[in-house]
């Protein structure tokens, strides 16, 4: 059996959106290296509840790296720094016995903190609602090969569609830019035939909403790609810029 670990946690605590917030320290004792990071927090919360204290608030749902809700900065890196890994998939074996772990929420004006580690990421939802849809006939499911799509384009579309909207790209960016998220959403629908009717409108509307939400501009540092749990490529930002330029030309703006 692997040796159990004792850890020191420095956790951001914030009572509500109006609270200035502060760091508080906790002990995480007898932690199995096989636990996930969220399971470790569950153990700490059980101890806090047993002592009559408020548990640490954090978001989680699937705990399988699918939903993107486990958004937190661990030791200064979104999702903890393990390549292609969400916080819920991060295991305690990546930490050392006696280590101090600092845990914070995403830091971005467009992602206000609700409480502790819980942030409001509905800005992403509003961007998605502006163009993340297609106008196709509803009814029976069409045959999978009814509309030919080249393998190269289908593979590229699937690469972009992997984005889970967790917001790590925003948290890692010095400008709090949402370009990688928006680029993934615009790109994956522009690459398939079903996404063509809204192609130009989608690019213009989603970029405008991104700006309206208060996200910063991209300066291509690559920090977003480095922390993305689905390893979305920075190349999609270039593709989005081309889509946006194409939309402006077809609209007659430039």
pLDDT tens digits for range 223-245? 999 999 999 999 999 999 999 99
Q: Tell me the average pLDDT across 38-54.
A: 98
First to last CA, the chain: 66
Q: Give me the pLDDT at residue 55, please.
A: 98
Contact status, residue 206 vs residue 188, Cβ threshold 8 Å: no
Domain co-membership, 142 together with 244: yes
- Rounded CA gap, 117 and 43, in Å? 16
For residue 44, name the pLDDT band (cuts at 50, 70, 90).
very high
Q: Give me the pLDDT at residue 214, please.
A: 97
- Rounded CA gap, 17 and 9, in Å? 22
Contact status, residue 68 vs residue 165, Cβ threshold 8 Å: yes
The domain that holds 131 is classified in CATH as 1.10.1060.10
- Rounded CA gap, 153 and 55, in Å? 47
- Rounded CA gap, 254 and 229, in Å? 36
Q: How many CA atoms lie within 13 A of 121 on its CB side?
A: 26
Instruction: Give the end of a domain, one of 73, 92, 114.
Output: 114
Domain co-membership, 24 together with 74: yes
Residues 6 or more apart from 55 whose CB is under 8 A from it? Answer: 45, 48, 49
* C-alpha of 155 from chain center: 21
Domain co-membership, 136 together with 102: no
Domain co-membership, 183 together with 109: no
Mean pLDDT of the chain: 94
Instruction: Give the end of a domain, one of 63, 80, 114.
Output: 114
Domain co-membership, 214 together with 144: yes
Domain span including residue 45:
5-114
Q: Tell me the average pLDDT across 71-77.
A: 97
Domain co-membership, 73 together with 139: no
Domain co-membership, 94 together with 190: no
Q: Enumerate the β-bridge partners of residue 219.
A: none
Task: Supply the pTM of this predicted model.
Answer: 0.93
Domain co-membership, 81 together with 47: yes
Look up residue 94 and give its DSSP letter. G
Contact status, residue 130 vs residue 211, Cβ threshold 8 Å: no
How much of the chain, in percent, has pLDDT values that exceed 70?
A: 95
Domain co-membership, 47 together with 169: no
- Rounded CA gap, 231 and 164, in Å? 11
Domain co-membership, 145 together with 107: no
Tens-digit pLDDT profile for residues 131-174 = 887 776 656 766 666 778 889 999 999 999 999 999 999 999 99
How much of the chain, in percent, has pLDDT values that exceed 90?
A: 87
Domain co-membership, 126 together with 238: yes
Domain co-membership, 146 together with 246: yes
- Rounded CA gap, 127 and 147, in Å? 28
Instruction: Give the end of a domain, one of 99, 114, 129.
Output: 114
Q: Give me the pLDDT at residue 145, please.
A: 67
Domain count for the chain: 2
The domain that holds 33 is classified in CATH as 3.10.20.30
Look up residue 61 and give its DSSP letter. S
């Amino acid at each position: 059996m692997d040796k159990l670990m004792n850890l020191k946690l420095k956790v951001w605590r914030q009572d509500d959106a109006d609270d200035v917030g502060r760091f508080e320290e906790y002990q995480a004792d007898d932690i199995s290296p096989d636990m996930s990071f969220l399971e470790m927090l569950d153990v700490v919360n059980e101890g806090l509840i047993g002592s009559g204290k408020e548990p640490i608030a954090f978001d989680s749902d699937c705990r399988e790296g699918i939903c993107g809700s486990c958004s937190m900065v661990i030791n200064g890196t979104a999702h903890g720094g393990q390549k292609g890994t969400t916080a819920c998939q991060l295991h305690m074996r990546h930490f050392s016995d006696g280590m101090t772990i600092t845990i914070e929420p995403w830091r971005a004006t467009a992602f206000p903190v609700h409480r502790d580690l819980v942030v409001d990421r509905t800005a992403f939802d509003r961007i998605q609602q502006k163009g993340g849809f297609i106008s196709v006939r509803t009814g029976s499911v069409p045959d999978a090969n009814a509309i030919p799509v080249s393998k190269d384009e289908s593979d590229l579309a699937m690469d972009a569609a992997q984005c889970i909207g967790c917001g790590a790209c925003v948290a890692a960016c010095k400008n709090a830019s949402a370009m990688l998220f928006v680029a993934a959403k615009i790109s994956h629908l522009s690459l398939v035939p079903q996404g063509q009717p809204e192609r130009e409108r989608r690019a213009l509307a989603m970029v405008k909403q991104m700006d309206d939400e208060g996200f910063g501009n991209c300066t291509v540092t690559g920090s977003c790609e480095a922390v993305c749990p689905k390893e979305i490529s920075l190349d999609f930002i270039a593709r989005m810029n081309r889509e946006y330029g194409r939309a402006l030309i077809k609209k007659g703006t430039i």
